[in-house]
Amino acid sequence: MESQCSGGWAEEKALRQLEAQGWQLLDRNWRCRWGELDLVLERQQQLLVVEVKGRRIGHWDRHGLDAFHSAKRRRMARAISCWRAAHPASAEQLLRVKLALVPLISSRGTIRWMDVERLC
């Protein structure tokens, strides 16, 4: 239960920052058989998919980076394909994928944004 609350808080923090940059939320915690997409947003004909990892400072998995392993990236790629199939208008949009590493202690640290070059 605590991790769900922490995860929701981390997603909300990342979402607020993206909305301040002009991104509009399309879906949050979208699920299909392949997995879940934390945040799906759009801005100026661009589609942004964000995987959010909220961690305490000094967490054993490098603040969530280790949890974004190759199997997770493959599942995410399949989930993105599934989302795009369910939203045909997105086919023409440029796709960007980011990993947001969010420290759970709000007064310490900022969100680390990482571009995901390859999903497989």
Residue 25 token pair: 């939320």
Cβ atoms within 10 A of the Cβ of 9, count? 15
DSSP 72: H
- pLDDT tens-digit series, residues 39-67: 999 999 999 999 998 876 655 545 555 66
Among residues of the chain, what percentage have pLDDT more than 90?
52
CATH annotation of 2-115: 3.40.1350.10
**Identity at 18, one-letter amino acid code:** L
Q: Using alpha carbons, list the distances in angstroms from residue 32 to 35, 82, 86, 107.
A: 6, 7, 10, 35
Compute the mean pLDDT over every residue in the chain, rounded to the nearest whole number.
83
Give the residues across from 94 on adjacent strands: 46
pTM of the complete model: 0.83
* Positive or negative: CA dihedral 11, 52, 108, 55: positive
> Of 96, 1, 111, which Cα lies nearest the Cα of 53?
111
